[in-house]
Amino acid sequence: MAKTKSAYFCQNCGHEAAKWLGKCPSCNEWNTFVEEVIEKAGSKVPAWKTSTSGTRVNKPNKVDHIISISEDRILTGDQELDRVLGGGLVAGSVILIGGEPGIGKSTLMLQLALNIPGKKILYISGEESEQQIKMRAERITSNPTSDCYILTETSTQNIFKQIEELNPDLLIVDSIQTLHSAHIDATPGSVSQVRECTSELLRFAKETDTPVFLIGHITKDGAIAGPKILEHMVDTVLQFEGDRNHVYRILRSIKNRFGAAAELGIYAMHSTGLRQVSNPSEILLSQRDEEMSGIAISATLEGARPMLIETQALVSAAAYGTPQRSSNGFDTKRMNMLLAVLEKRCGFRLSTRDVFLNIAGGIKVEDPAIDLAILVAIISSHEDIFISSKICFAAEVGLSGEIRAVNRIEQRISEAEKLGFKRIFISNYNMKGLITERYKIELTPVSKIEDVFSLLFGS
């Protein structure tokens, strides 16, 4: 008779060790190791085993002997989700979606289950009752489809029994941290349980070519809860984020084996559910009756989608001895670096000033092409001179004050022209190979940050 096997797991990062350790060698956290049983005594029968699978032995094949199969995508009916996934669902793929509590993960998945055409969907919930899900379904749509089945269960053995009887075309699990397998003697949500349950669902998806959505919790640091191997096992990792004080939600692709890993979808949260936002530039730009200082518009890219965002800056005298530096939606360290460029290269004395930066709409931006707009907004607030609302910027700023080129400048220019902007500042190096006659918007190439301030402020 086989013995019971156990190991020690770090509850922060999932690192496995044969004995207890005070400090995790992977994440350097203290007192995070907990003993968990990884295999019970007795023989282990796989939780998912189809009657037609049998025993199959895989053999190595030459790459040119492997038969290529056309990749048929399953359209979900949600254009934002289809684009983030790379054009739709791939058969047998496993998608993990994470986000803060109450951000709308379950609402998005239930909308998908109710609206996807011609597919039999099984929605498994380990957190809510059938009545609670029915109440949300009635709020989302007045005519829920009969092809959506609800199962409230947490045992993977019972779940796979129902799957064999129903034979669904799509499986949604809410959430992976609530499931537990009888093969692991540990509490639901522990490292070993999450890994084992995901492994069983992954095996099911690959054997039956059934797409599987997994909803995952996150930690207080914003990372998906559970071992890091969870993100490595699945095919796609999506992050659902947003500010609760704003109605807009962002679905961001972090990992995607079947498409671009930097795509972005935008939704608006209403009482009737999530609604797609087809033109995010219009909602991210404020409608102002008069010109105001400290505001600059930047042309950015999120995946394949060009967007115009509004950068707001406020510079004021420091009320205390140490000036404050705060940013919302942008990396504070990079903002401090750009402030140092203004001090060193342009002579602006901001060391005794409070600087606050905000990206309007609650969106988080990592594109370096907004550097120039940030500096212009800061100086506009510092000098109390407004920037015309018909001017936008698309350039990166280097440490020596040079204006660096950015990628896919044609898409940025076209988006600015489509929204009625009259002038765009770009790097002089982006002009190479650019057909200027194609655009009606005025292109202003610059090579140094001083040239931008001279054209805008006359100094």
In this predicted model, what pLDDT tens digit does every residue of 397-453 receive, in sequence order?
999 999 999 999 999 999 999 888 999 999 999 998 888 888 999 999 999 999 999
Q: Which are the contacts of 72, defined by CB distance < 8 A and separation ≥ 6?
A: 91
Percent of residues, the chain, with pLDDT higher than 90: 46
Q: How many CB atoms lie within 10 A of CB 128?
A: 16
- For range 60-70, the mean pLDDT: 79
Question: What would the pLDDT profile of 349-375 be if each residue is shown by its tens digit?
Answer: 888 899 999 998 778 888 999 999 999
Q: What is the mean pLDDT of the chain?
A: 86
- For range 180-206, the mean pLDDT: 87
- Does pLDDT of 207 surpass 50? yes
What is the amino acid identity at position 352? T
- Does pLDDT of 148 surpass 70? yes
Q: What was the pLDDT predicted at 143?
A: 67
Q: What was the pLDDT predicted at 65?
A: 80
Confidence of residue 229 (pLDDT cuts 50, 70, 90): confident
Q: Which are the contacts of 220, defined by CB distance < 8 A and separation ≥ 6?
A: none
Rounded Cα–Cα distance for residues 140 and 138 (Å): 5
| pTM as predicted | 0.77
pLDDT higher at 145 or 205: 205
Question: What would the pLDDT profile of 287-322 be if each residue is shown by its tens digit?
Answer: 666 788 999 999 998 877 889 999 999 999 887 778
Rounded Cα–Cα distance for residues 346 and 449 (Å): 8
- For residue 155, list its beta bridge partners: 180
Q: What was the pLDDT predicted at 43?
A: 43
